[in-house]
Amino acid sequence: MLYLLAVVGALAIAVLMWRAFGPQPADVAPRRRIPIAPDDDPEFLRRLDEHRKRKSRDEDDPQA
């Protein structure tokens, strides 16, 4: 009986260790890479360029 308990305990520990440290499931989708800095963000650079062009246009042709 003691041997059976030891075998069941060893199997339980093996299964728990396998689930904790085993291979990761394949159905996990990779995370989308987010920009780290503003100059890595294409949307930020596009808005910056539009702002720069608008400011340059306003300085060249004042409406007042």
pTM reported for the whole predicted model: 0.40
Q: What are the DSSP calls for 16-51, one per residue? A: HHHHHHSPPPTTPPPPPPPPSSGGG-HHHHHHHHHH
- Tokens linked to 43: 């949307």
60 vs 15: which has the higher pLDDT? 15
Q: What's the pLDDT score for residue 5?
A: 94
Q: What's the pLDDT score for residue 38?
A: 73
Q: What's the pLDDT score for residue 7?
A: 96
Q: What's the pLDDT score for residue 36?
A: 72
Contact 38, 44 (CB under 8 A): yes
Structure confidence by residue, pLDDT tens digits, 9-56: 999 999 999 888 887 766 666 676 776 777 778 888 899 999 999 998
